[in-house]
Amino acid sequence: MIAGTIRDLLQKADIAVNGDRPWDIRVHDRQWYQRVWKEKSLGFGESYMDGLWECQRVDDMICRLLRSDLVGQVRGSLKYQLHFLSGALVNLQSRVRSRMVARRHYDLGNDLFFSFLDPYLQYSCAYFHETDDLNEAQQKKLELIASKLDLKSGDRLLDIGSGWGGLARYMAEKYQCDITGVNISKEQLRHSREFCRDLPVTFVDQDYRSIKGRYDKVVSVGMFEHVGQKNYRKYMDVVSSCLEKDGIFMLQTIGRNKSARSCDPWITRYIFPNGMLPSISQISRSAEGLLNIQHLENLGPHYDRTLMAWHSNFQKAWPELYRKNRKYDQRFKRMWEFYLLSCAGAFRAGTNHLWQIVMTRHLPERKCR
């Protein structure tokens, strides 16, 4: 009965079980139906990792699922529902818990990330403006950020969540900025300090809540997803306190259409522990009275292309990765594939977005007509 119900639901999204189209699902083990019915997205992702089903184009299939809103039509188990309740009751992104994602994701191994990223090691959305090349698109993204920040030589730039140091290196080399990067990932910090040696860049192992000092410009790319709704206001308060009166802040973050207090259970368990995607209303409420939004741009379609480019690079690099480091086993490979492709499908479906938001402490002076 469950198998028939799931097949009927998938048919509403034009997805067939054991069909022959690229987005159809081919089931190898009938346990798959029970796991998906009980655990929804968690069981869906785990059963892919376990090889219970295949799909030639996971990205297209996920896009169709999300556009049809089937996820909300299948009731999950009590255990599944309790996952969402925890985000409302507990601060999942406290100072102690915030380092979990650094250890479990960003410290997985630089060899993994460097196998599919560009030379500036940008683990965030590229900007495919008049180019199909990932490396060029990432540099265009960095140029877009510099333009929105109105970067000038000598600017003191604070980079909250500085990654592997690529943004800091680019801005220091091209714009002669004095940059402070804040991060809590040991592996990223270790590489960043070597990557930016002999440049006016300082990297600090520090939680964003402890940031002090004053800066002309502040940038944060791909870090706000780890802040959590209970800490959004604190984050904006820190930025406002650090920003000079006439300074500019640019936030780049993945977001969602509706406000929520937790993230997808599969992503939370296997990719980003304690992650949370904000809505526009959550961002604006947290900044109210502290920062003024001057400009907002949605680059969501560019993240779809970025993820597909990463997936292509990952597939090419996999044989060498596996040969050199057997901790990346076949189940890990399937996990990483599902992560990249399902996220691409979410951006294609329009349920995920990528926002660049420019803010200032004060409203700029404008002449009245």
Residue 200, number of CB atoms within 10 A of its CB = 17
> Which positions ≥6 away from 6 have C-beta within 8 Å?
17, 33, 36, 37, 74
355, 297 contact by CB (below 8 A): yes
Q: What b/e string do you get for 52-91 counting C-beta neighbours within 10 Å, with b at 16 or more?
A: bbebeebbbbbbbbbebebeeeeebeeebeebeeebeeee
Would you put residue 228 in left (φ > 0), alpha (ψ -120 to 50) or beta?
left
Return phi, psi of residue 202, to 5°: -125, 135
Q: HSE of 48 in the Cβ direction (CA atoms, 13 Å)? A: 24
109, 187 contact by CB (below 8 A): yes
Return phi, psi of residue 27, to 5°: -90, 125
DSSP string covering 242-253: HEEEEEEEEEEE
Residue 107, number of CB atoms within 10 A of its CB = 16
Q: Catalytic annotation on 343? A: yes
| Cα distance between residue 211 and residue 209, in whole Å | 6
Active-site residue (options: 55, 177, 242, 343): 343
| Cα distance between residue 19 and residue 28, in whole Å | 13
So which residues are the catalytic ones? 343
